[in-house]
Amino acid sequence: MAPGRVKKTENEQPSSIEKKSIEVPNPHLEKMKEDILYHFDLGTNSHDFPALFGDVKFVCVGGSPSRMKAFAQYITGELNLGDPKEDIPNICAGTDRYAMYKVGPVLSISHGMGIPSISIMLHELIKLLYHSKCCDVTVVRIGTSGGIGIEPGSVVITSQSVNPTFEPQFEQIVLGKTVIRSTKLDAELAQELIQCSHEINEFNTVIGKTMCTLDFYEGQARLDGAICSYTEEEKMQYLKAAYDAGIRNIEMESSVFAAMCNISGLRAAVVCVTLLNRLEGDQISSTHDVLVEYQQRPQKLVGYFIKKSLMKK
Ligand code: R2B
Ligand code: URA
């Protein structure tokens, strides 16, 4: 630390001119001669991280590899960085666990389904950004979800991710003990994103709580899984209680995403389109074309936000 510089307390925000670097609260990393990011098929001895990724300012993550490739191609066109129809190389081509694409300052990565899958990806992504010496990075999850009490196709910007008992926390078991981590997200970023949605003016967007579950069927109170141990009345009572608690959608990754971004000092948001209204049913029965168009909505919103942010600089 420079002489005369006062050390910040843990939660203190940097001043607007100060660069915000990535935090990796792991003292063991420093001692490692090489760090192999196994699930990305990248390593610090085999790849020059600062040269490859040092300019990254926006990271967009989403479940499906093909959607994240489509997003990278869409961003290519939006930022005038080439022909959006041209193929983009997958940086993680040496593995089929995750797919990663880079377009200028934007990284687009798939994370698979569920907390364990996105958590592994985020450990390696956070280390990738750290080894690359990136600063002032914004991370956005663009995904799908089930809506509660809102018109299908609406986009929800998450104010807070909550667990199935509606609490804003993520429980991680470490050495057999439960550690509780906060799932709050950047309120200012959520406001910037909803402002972008108003400017686009093409689809309904709301800010609300997002419930993160461990399962798509019983975990989300569906009646159409292989196993169901409750009545339709009990299901409706639970979903209505969720609505009354301010929850507007349900998905499967936001809690650990928010928790890990918080700990690493990353500005983060979750933007998910709702594929159905869960107060009206469980099956996703819209046509393929309708679902494809719905899934483009978070991409459009975040693409617009990135373009606007880069123009300000
Ligand atoms: C949304 O959609 C997936 C389940 O269909 C899951 O990854 C999620 O969070
Ligand atoms: N993803 C989910 O997790 N739930 C839904 O209902 C739809 C998409």
* pLDDT one-digit tens code per residue, 200-241: 999 999 999 999 999 999 999 999 999 999 999 999 999 999
Q: Is 143 exposed, middle or buried (0-12, 13-18, 19+ CB in 10 A)?
A: buried
Delimit the domains of the chain by residue range: 27-277+290-312
Atom of ligand 1 nearest to the CA of 144: 1
Examine the pLDDT at 140 and tell me if it is beyond 60: yes
The reply to whether ligand 1 has any atom less than 6 angstroms from the CB of 252 is yes
* pLDDT one-digit tens code per residue, 55-91: 999 999 999 999 999 999 999 999 999 999 999 999 9
Query: Which of 252, 286, 291 should be mutated for ligand 2, with most atoms under 8 A from CB?
Result: 252
251 C-alpha vs ligand 1 centroid, how far in Å? 6
Please, how many CA atoms are within 13 Å of residue 109, restricted to the half-sphere of its CB?
27
**pTM for the complete prediction?**
0.94
62 C-alpha vs ligand 1 centroid, how far in Å? 9
CATH number of 27-277+290-312: 3.40.50.1580
32 C-alpha vs ligand 1 centroid, how far in Å? 35
179 C-alpha vs ligand 1 centroid, how far in Å? 25
CA distance 76 to 228: 45
Q: Whose CA is nearest to atom 6 of ligand 2?
A: 146
CA distance 269 to 195: 14
* pLDDT one-digit tens code per residue, 172-200: 999 999 999 999 999 999 999 999 999 99
Examine the pLDDT at 10 and tell me if it is beyond 60: no
